Structures are given as C-alpha cells and as structure tokens.
C-alpha cells in the first residue's frame, strides 16, 4: 500500500540518522529531496541507491498533484530536507496536507531537528515555548516583533548568519536590552557553540565576531 514517509535527516553530524530512517530510505520507491546534491552525499554515505527527485519551495506547488497521482498508483515515497525534519521551516506541508485530503497514509519518523537541542542548551524555561521559525524579512516584521514582545513563553527562532546582527538589534529595540538570549550555531558539527547572555551582550559578541553556519536563537519570554 502506498504511503508518504516524512524522514528527518542529520542537521550536521551524519551519525545522527536513525537506523529506521536508513531502512525506510532503502525501502521506498522514490525519495524527494530539497537539494539532490546535498542529499546525494548522505545517500552515498549510507549506500542508499533509491531514485532521487528534487522537491523544494520553488517547485512544490507544481509537483504536488503529480506526486499524489503516483502515490494513488502505488508508489511509496519518502520526503527529506537538506537537514532536520521536513516541513519545519522547510518544504513538506503542502504534500502532507494533499496526502491527508486524498486519504493517503502519512507517517513521520522521529529524528533530528535543530530547535530542540538549542532550546534545551539555552537554559531558558522549556516547559512551554513557541516556535517562530524565520521572522519576516520586510513586510510584517515590525508587527510580528511588537506582538512577540508581549509573549511570556520562551521563543525559538531560526536565522541566517548574515541577518543575525539585524535580528539581535531588533530584539534589543523591541524586547529590551536585558532580555536573555541564547544563540546556538553549527549544532552537532565540529565548531558547534552556544553563546548566552542579554540581547545587548550577545549582539556585542557577534558584532565583534561575525557568525557563520546555521543558527537557532532562543529568547526569554516577557516576565
């Protein structure tokens, strides 16, 4: 019976893939990947020879119906992203929703995702938190920041290195310079680091030491 598998992949360290994920990627008829070049390295490492097809934010709208047709005809498909769990700030939601609407079984495997270790590492309360992903680049950014300034739960963001200074500056402006912040960078990789402090202190750190790599920011909620 056809099924869509959502398969998390390592966020940096190739050893962080699960045995079950490798088993599924070997079993399915087709793997959908955000970037076939990136995913190709992972598949080669684990000697997985399943056919690979691109599925990213620029083509997912056009390809969903075709994939649904293939699933209805019995094709078993696994969806992976470049790193972490698909649909968490990555493509995956549209295809998952379409499968559910068409009564096609969907199974999401547990596995790597960047925000969980960053949240735990932060030392900030994690019994209740809100995941925001990436802030709007322009339109709606100010409105979103004003709303989040009143959020009492711990807040988790994703950010790119070249926008980190702008975002930390925004935090100082909208949340206050004394709001506690934790920035985790290059999680699971050789140069992994977590910098903690007030938003002002962390901004000063990265102003003097420009960041590289994937970034997760965890922000204290309003007291």
Going by C-beta distance under 8 Å and a sequence separation of 6 or more, which residues neighbour residue 4? 71, 77, 78, 79, 95, 96, 99, 104, 105, 106, 107
Backbone angles phi, psi at 109, to 5 degrees: -80, 150
For the chain, the average pLDDT equals 96
* pLDDT tens digits along 131-190: 999 999 989 999 999 999 999 999 999 999 999 999 999 999 999 999 999 999 999 999
Given a cut of 80, whether residue 1 has pLDDT beyond it is no
143 and 104 in a single domain? The answer is no
Output the pLDDT for position 29.
Answer: 97
Number of structural domains (the chain) is: 2
- Looking at the structure, tell me whether residues 125 and 68 fall in a common domain: no
Q: Are residues 171 and 140 in the same domain?
A: yes
Residues 68 and 135 in one domain: no
CATH of the domain at 184: 3.30.950.10
Residue 148 domain boundaries: 115-219
**Shared-domain flag, residues 132 and 92:** no
Confidence band, pLDDT 50/70/90 cuts, at residue 58: confident
- Examine the pLDDT at 61 and tell me if it is beyond 90: no
| Of 58, 73, 108, the domain-final residue | 108
CB 206 within 8 A of CB 183: yes
Per DSSP, what are the bridge partners of residue 158? 216
| 104 and 120 belong to one structural domain | no
Residue tagged 């970034």 (tokens): 215
Q: Give the pLDDT score at 180.
A: 98
Please give the Cα distance from 190 to 15 (Å, whole number).
13
Span 1-12, average pLDDT: 94
> 22 and 104 share a domain?
yes
Whether 11 and 53 map to the same domain: the answer is yes
What is the pairing mode between strands 52-54 and 30-33? parallel
Looking at the predicted structure, is the pLDDT value of residue 57 above 90? Answer: no
| 151 shares its domain with 201 | yes
Residues 160 and 124 in one domain: yes
- In sequence order, what are the beta bridge partners of 79? 6, 32
Give the span between the Cα atoms of 26 and 24, in whole angstroms: 5
Q: pLDDT at position 60, please?
A: 84
- What's the pLDDT score for residue 59? 84
pLDDT at 129: 98
Nearest CA-CA partner of 16 in 37, 41, 42, 35: 42
The domain boundary, picked from 41, 75, 108, lies at 108
Contact 114, 216 (CB under 8 A): yes
- Do 79 and 21 lie in a common domain? yes
Contacts of 102 (CB under 8 A, 6+ apart): 68, 71, 72
Q: What are the tens digits of pLDDT across the range 23-54?
A: 999 999 999 999 999 999 999 999 999 999 99
Q: What pLDDT is stored for residue 77 in this prediction?
A: 98
pLDDT band with cut points at 50, 70 and 90 for residue 56: confident
Domain C-terminal end among 81, 108, 135: 108
Is the domain of 119 the same as that of 203?
yes
What is the rounded distance in angstroms from the CA atom of residue 29 to the CA atom of residue 96? 17
| 68-79 confidence digits (pLDDT tens) | 999 999 999 999
218: which strand partners?
156, 182
- Lookup result for tokens 């869509």: 4
Question: What's the CATH number where 80 sits?
Answer: 3.40.1010.10
pLDDT in tens, 93-135: 999 999 999 999 999 999 999 999 999 999 999 999 999 999 9
């Amino acid at each position: 019976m056809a099924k869509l598998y959502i398969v998390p992949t390592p966020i940096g360290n190739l050893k962080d893939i699960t045995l079950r994920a490798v088993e599924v990627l070997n079993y399915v008829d087709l793997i959908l990947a955000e970037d076939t070049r990136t995913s190709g390295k992972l598949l080669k490492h684990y000697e997985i020879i399943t056919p690979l097809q691109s599925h990213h934010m620029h083509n997912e709208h056009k390809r969903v119906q075709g994939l649904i047709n293939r699933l209805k005809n019995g094709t078993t498909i696994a969806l992976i992203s470049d790193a972490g769990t698909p649909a968490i700030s990555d493509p995956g939601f549209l295809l998952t929703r379409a499968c559910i609407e068409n009564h096609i079984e969907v199974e999401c495997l547990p596995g790597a995702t960047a925000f969980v270790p960053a949240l735990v590492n932060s030392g900030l309360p994690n019994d209740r938190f809100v995941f925001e992903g990436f802030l709007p680049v322009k339109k709606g950014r100010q409105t979103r920041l004003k709303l989040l300034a009143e959020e009492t739960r711990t807040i988790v963001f994703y950010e790119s290195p070249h926008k980190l200074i702008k975002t930390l500056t925004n935090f100082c402006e909208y949340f206050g310079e004394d709001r506690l912040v934790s920035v985790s960078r290059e999680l699971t990789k050789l140069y992994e680091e977590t910098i903690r402090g007030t938003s002002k202190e962390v901004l000063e750190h990265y102003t003097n030491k420009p960041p590289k790599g994937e970034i997760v920011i965890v922000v204290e909620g309003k007291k």
